[in-house]
């Protein structure tokens, strides 16, 4: 099935560093979402974006909905050990359609 292009695939960073990851698509989405998944658990919603160009923050997390509606990025500032996990972007065409996910960015934080 279709999946979004998410990069990087994995990253190792020092505690306190900022992190940036992005997601691109060949087609337009009207909603972009970012989820975090811990091992053996379901994805947990971090940020939802509903309008092209929208910039939204949730604590140390900031995400933007690309102006073309074909991309989104997520920034994490001042990373801490509990940020470790897999971050997924997901696109949605309209409110009642399934989510299309990227393959995830695996984040490791070195204390």
Q: Which is nearer to other proteins, 24 or 77 (CB)?
A: 24
Chain contacts with other proteins (rule: CB under 8 A): 1, 3-4, 6, 33, 35, 40-45, 48, 50, 88, 90, 95-96, 98-104
Based on CB atoms, which residue is closest to other proteins, 49 or 76? Answer: 49
- The smaller minimum CB distance to other proteins, of residues 52 and 99, is found at 99
Give the separation between CA 89 and CA 34, rounded to whole angstroms: 5
């Amino acid at each position: 099935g279709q999946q979004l292009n998410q990069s990087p695939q994995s990253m190792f960073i020092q505690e306190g560093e900022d992190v940036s990851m992005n997601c691109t698509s060949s087609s337009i989405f009207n909603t972009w979402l970012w989820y975090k998944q811990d091992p053996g658990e379901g994805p947990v919603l971090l940020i939802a974006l509903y309008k092209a160009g929208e910039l939204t923050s949730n604590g140390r997390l900031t995400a933007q909905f690309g102006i073309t509606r074909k991309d989104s990025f997520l920034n994490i500032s001042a990373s801490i050990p509990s940020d470790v996990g897999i971050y997924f972007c997901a696109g949605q065409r309209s409110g009642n359609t399934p989510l299309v996910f990227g393959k995830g960015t695996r984040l490791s934080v070195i204390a």
